[in-house]
Amino acid sequence: MIVVLKPGAPQGVVDALVDQLRGWNLETQTIVGRENVVIGLIGDTSSLCDDRVQELSPFIDRVLRVKKRFKRASREFHPERTVVSVPTAGGTVEIGGEGPLVCMAGPCSVESEAMILETAHRVKAAGARILRGGAYKPRTSPYDFQGHGESALELLAAARTATGLAIVTEVMDTSDLEAIAEVADIVQVGARNMQNYSLLKKVGQQPKPVLLKRAFSATIDEWLLAAEYILAAGNPNVILCERGIRTFDRQYTRNTLDLAAVPVLRSITHLPVIVDPSHGTGLSQFVESCSKAAVAIGADGLMIEVHPDPARALSDGPQCLTPDEFDAAMANLAPIALAVGRPLQTAAPAAARP
C-alpha cells in the first residue's frame, strides 16, 4: 500500500503519520519526491481498509495498492526515477534520471597491470566514466581462466588512481564481498548469480551501488524481485543491466539481447537500466549497432567490453572491441544520444566516422 501526501504536507504531519502506521505494526519507507511525499507500507496490508488510512490526515491525497510482487522496485512506490550517484575523483557520475548517458567499459577480466592501465586510459579518453573488469570470473567450465582474484583487485585500484575512473567489478561469493567493495565503486552481481539470494541480501546490506545483471532465463518479474531483495536489505542503489537472454537461436549471436525490456522496465520500475551489448551479442561486430539501438530505446547507459588485443584475451575475446573500435563506436553513438536528449560524454563529440 502507498500513501501519497498532498504537495506541501508539513514534515511534522509526515512524521506523525509514519509513527501512527508503525504503531499498527507496519514497516514504512518514506520517499521524498519533487512534488509529493510518498509513504510506502511494506508487508501484509490485505486486512487494512484504504478508507481507514485515508482518514488519518487531511494531508493524504490518495491511498493506492501496489499489485506487483516487487514493491520497492515499483514505479508506484517510487514515482520519480532513481538516480544512482557514484563519486569519482573526476566528479560524481550519475546513472538514471534524465541526465547524460553513462558508459562503463573495459576488459572482461583484468589480465595484467599493463593491459588494465592501457585500457583504462583509452576508454577514459573515449568518454567512458566507469572502468569494468572482472577479478573473479564466473566461467562455464572450471578449466577456463577464473580471474586473478585479489591481485586483480589491486590492479583495478591502481587503474582508478591513475585515471580517476570509477570501478565496477563482479562479486560471486559473499566471502569476497568486503575486499571487493573496498575497491569497487559499483559491485556487479552477474547473470549466473541473479537468483543467489544470500548474495543479494549481502550486497543489499553494504553501501556500494549494485549492478544487477539479468539471468539467462529470468523473466522481468524475477529480475525485479531479485532487485527487491537488495532494496529490502537496505541498499536503494540498484542498476539493472540487460545482457541478453537464452532463446532458441544461438547460431549467430551468443544471446538474444532483449531491448524491449528497456521501455518495459522504464514503465514499471524507477531503477536505472543499462544495456550490455557485448554479452548480449557475443560478437564485436554487432556491439556498435546494438549500442545505438539501446541508446535510442531509452537505456540510461551501456556496458561495453574493450580489450587492447581481443585475439589474445583470456575471456570473451570475440565480443571485445579494440580501443580504436571503441573510439569509433562512442563517436558514432553521440548523435543518437543527442537525438534522444541524453547526451553521451565523449572525448571528441564532433569526431567524424573513421
Q: What residues line the site for Mn ion (CB under 5 A)?
A: 108, 316
Q: What's the closest the beta carbon of residue 12 comes to ligand PEP, in angstroms?
A: 47
Q: What's the closest the beta carbon of residue 285 comes to ligand PEP, in angstroms?
A: 19
What residue 190 binds from ligand PEP, Mn ion, none (CB within 5 to 8 A, per partner kind)?
ligand PEP
Angle 178-212-43 (CA atoms, 0-180°, nearest 5)? 90
What is the end-to-end Cα distance of the chain in Å, rounded?
54
Residues 6+ away with beta carbon under 8 Å from 183:
153, 154, 156, 157, 160, 167, 169
Q: What's the closest the beta carbon of residue 257 comes to ligand PEP, in angstroms?
A: 11
Q: What's the closest the beta carbon of residue 194 comes to Mn ion, in angstroms?
A: 15
Contacts with ligand PEP by CB under 6 A: the residue count is: 9
Of 208 and 243, CB closest to ligand PEP: 243
Instruction: Write the single-letter amino acid at 307.
Output: H
Among 122, 279, 292, 307, binds ligand PEP (CB under 6 A): 279
Of 93 and 108, CB closest to Mn ion: 108
- For residue 233, give the nearest of 162, 276, 174 by alpha carbon: 174
Per-residue interface string for the shown chain with ligand PEP, residues 62-101, x marking contact by CB under 6 A:
----------------------------------------
What residue 204 binds from ligand PEP, Mn ion, none (CB within 5 to 8 A, per partner kind)?
none
Distance CA 13, CA 31 (A): 14
What residue 243 binds from ligand PEP, Mn ion, none (CB within 5 to 8 A, per partner kind)?
ligand PEP
List the grid coordinates of 221: 518479474
Among 60, 191, 203, 328, binds ligand PEP (CB under 6 A): 191
Distance CA 165, CA 160 (A): 5
Among 108, 130, 166, 302, binds ligand PEP (CB under 6 A): 108
Counting Cβ atoms within 10 Å, is residue 68 exposed (0-12), middle (13-18) or buried (19+)? middle
Distance CA 153, CA 184 (A): 8
What is the total residue count of the chain? 354
Q: What's the closest the beta carbon of residue 191 comes to ligand PEP, in angstroms?
A: 4
Q: Longest Cα pair distance anywhere in the chain, in angstroms?
A: 67
List the grid coordinates of 86: 557514484
List the grid coordinates of 309: 588485443
> Which part of the chain contacts ligand PEP (CB under 6 A), choosing from 16-24, 30-38, 186-194, 219-227?
186-194
How many Cβ atoms sit within 10 Å of the Cβ of residue 79?
16
Q: Which of residues 112-171 bind ligand PEP (CB under 6 A)?
A: 134, 138
Q: What's the closest the beta carbon of residue 304 comes to Mn ion, in angstroms?
A: 11
Q: Interface with ligand PEP by CB under 6 A: which residues?
A: 108, 134, 138, 190-192, 213, 243, 279
